[in-house]
Amino acid sequence: MAKGKTTVYFCQSCGYESAKWMGQCPGCREWNTFVEEQMDKKSVRPSGKRREAPSEPQPLSAICLSDEKRLSTDIKELDRVLGGGIVKGSLILVGGDPGIGKSTLLLQVCRNLSQKGCAILYISGEESLQQIKLRADRIGEFSDSLKLLCETNLDEIKEVIDRRRPQIVVVDSIQTMYQEEIASAPGSVSQVRESTGVFLQIAKGMGITVFVVGHVTKEGVVAGPRVLEHMVDTVLYFEGDRHESYRILRGVKNRFGSTNEIGVFEMQETGLSEVENPSEYMLSGKPAGASGSVVACSMEGTRPILLEIQALVCHSYFNNPRRTATGTDYNRVSLLMAVLEKRLGMQLSDCDAYVNIAGGIRMNEPAIDLGIVLAIISSKTDCIIEDNTICFGEVGLSGEVRGVSMAEQRVQEARKLGFQKCILPQVCKEALSHMDGIRLIGVRNVKEAWEAIRQPFSAGT
């Protein structure tokens, strides 16, 4: 081995560094993700330092915020996830599975900003200029302030940026960029980190906003975007089912705004279009009068989203009953089924159970517990929950239904969409004043919740 070079092993999934090869990564518990990389000792330097920053310490009062004005992308769903628009000089990572629509979204951002006259440089390491042109033709009109560059060599890219000084740079994708001094292949952890470091310097040093695309990789030798999450200001992930047309953009980290906000898009012939009322959209395929289906409400950041939870409980012919949870946490579903078994005496241990959040969206908020519970009860007892009913609430281990935050927004969203009955935690009901047009049914535990869905039959209404 040449002097000054060391061999290290990196987990391509989370970036864990190790001196020796390991089968399982201690960081993220993935198997077979370690890949050998050569590190040149000279090239390893702490990236992300502001070269042009003054080394003199400054008092807070001397720091001027006038430059921190946000630039709107004219895509409301994206602006919301970004916390109100693009902050100058920020480094934004857009991650997601290949083919989900990252390049399309960023090209649409380029279209809107170029029409406003912003100087933009779109660097593509994946597609040729002709391919980008084909895509752009589907998306709309572009002004000439958008410049395209097909290049993967970082030194060349740095030189172009230095010369042209654009306001916005889009890098598609970070896994194709490479620096010559680093021995390992493009897409390896050291290349990806080093490239991000270069773009971080460009962003902070020159005040250029940089969008970086990162593919999520299930396996293989390409480092995933998780290895650079800590270096960037904002991390957005594109989620969605390949078979569904809509896509969810989720803010995972944001130094300039709240996280957990989501933006909802639909992939169409002419690119991504915004979905202004996601609840309506999510509920569009809900079957009427079917057991095992209920509408629940989850808060995504500041926005309530109504979604359909489906459960199918049937007799199991296996020793270990099958359980699946699609779109929500598997362990949570098992726990809730154990609560039902113990607190309601419902025989579930010999049943297969499949729980699904319809539409391929992922929701992990505890407030959907009550929805999961009611969907399971409904399927098990074949009791149909009325279509005009919605529920939310967290379920505890003793079967109690606990209060959740922002109950008023949830009820209002349900009322807006025409729901007439809302099953909610008793504490939330007490805190809410009377609302016209929707009946609030407060429940203290899962038993009362069960009563609430049985009521239409027992009361004969």
**Residues in the site for ligand TYD, rule: CB under 6 A?**
96, 98-104, 135, 138, 267, 269-271
Closest CB to ligand TYD among residues 101, 187: 101
Closest CB to ligand TYD among residues 73, 104: 104
Concatenated DSSP letters of 271-291: EEEE-S-HHHHHTTTPPTT-T
Give min distance, CB of 24 to ligand TYD, in A.
29
Binder of residue 335, out of ligand TYD, Mg ion, none (CB less than 5 to 8 A by kind): none
Binder of residue 287, out of ligand TYD, Mg ion, none (CB less than 5 to 8 A by kind): none
Give min distance, CB of 275 to Mg ion, in A.
21
Each residue 367-406 as x (binds Mg ion by CB under 5 A) or -, in order, gives ----------------------------------------
Q: Which residue is nearest to Mg ion (CB)?
A: 103
Closest CB to ligand TYD among residues 40, 127: 127
Give min distance, CB of 270 to ligand TYD, in A.
5
Residues in contact with Mg ion, total (CB under 5 A)? 1
> DSSP alpha helices (H): ranges in 116-242?
129-139, 154-164, 189-206
Give min distance, CB of 123 to ligand TYD, in A.
14
Binder of residue 101, out of Mg ion, ligand TYD, none (CB less than 5 to 8 A by kind): ligand TYD
Select from 279, 253, 242, 285 the least CA-distant residue to 264: 279
Closest CB to ligand TYD among residues 148, 336: 148
Alpha carbons 211 and 196: distance in angstroms, whole number: 11
Give min distance, CB of 238 to ligand TYD, in A.
7
Select from 402, 411, 401 the least CA-distant residue to 299: 411
Binder of residue 270, out of ligand TYD, Mg ion, none (CB less than 5 to 8 A by kind): ligand TYD
Binder of residue 138, out of Mg ion, ligand TYD, none (CB less than 5 to 8 A by kind): ligand TYD
Give min distance, CB of 135 to ligand TYD, in A.
5
Identify whether the C-beta of residue 10 lies closer than 8 Å to the C-beta of residue 37.
yes
Binder of residue 135, out of ligand TYD, Mg ion, none (CB less than 5 to 8 A by kind): ligand TYD
Alpha carbons 248 and 263: distance in angstroms, whole number: 6
Contacts (CB under 5 A) with Mg ion, residues 60-119: 103
Binder of residue 220, out of Mg ion, ligand TYD, none (CB less than 5 to 8 A by kind): none
Give min distance, CB of 104 to Mg ion, in A.
8
Report the amino acid identity of residue 231: M
Give min distance, CB of 294 to ligand TYD, in A.
32
Closest CB to Mg ion among residues 89, 214: 214
- DSSP single-letter state for residue 120: E
Report the amino acid identity of residue 147: K
Cβ partners under 8 Å of residue 280, min gap 6? 417
Binder of residue 84, out of ligand TYD, Mg ion, none (CB less than 5 to 8 A by kind): none
Which element (helix H / strand E) includes 401? strand 401-402
Give min distance, CB of 175 to Mg ion, in A.
11
State the CB neighbour count (10 A cutoff) for residue 13. Answer: 25
Closest CB to Mg ion among residues 103, 378: 103
The angle formed by the CA atoms of residues 71, 72 and 74, to the nearest 5 degrees, is 155
Give min distance, CB of 171 to ligand TYD, in A.
12
Closest CB to Mg ion among residues 49, 133: 133
Beta strands in 279-345 (DSSP E): 293-300, 303-315, 323-326
Which element (helix H / strand E) includes 232? none
118-151 burial, b if ≥16 CB within 10 A, otherwise e? bbbbbbbbbeeeeebeeebeeeeebeebbebbee
Token couple for 210: 């940089």
The angle formed by the CA atoms of residues 95, 97 and 98, to the nearest 5 degrees, is 110
Identify whether the C-beta of residue 411 lies closer than 8 Å to the C-beta of residue 440.
yes
Binder of residue 271, out of ligand TYD, Mg ion, none (CB less than 5 to 8 A by kind): ligand TYD
- In sequence order, the β-bridge partners of residue 238 are 96, 249
Binder of residue 277, out of ligand TYD, Mg ion, none (CB less than 5 to 8 A by kind): none
* Burial label, 343 (beta-carbon count in 10 A; 0-12, 13-18, 19+): middle
Alpha carbons 382 and 402: distance in angstroms, whole number: 26
Closest CB to Mg ion among residues 103, 328: 103
Closest CB to ligand TYD among residues 8, 168: 168
Closest CB to ligand TYD among residues 127, 329: 127
Binding site for Mg ion (CB under 5 A): 103
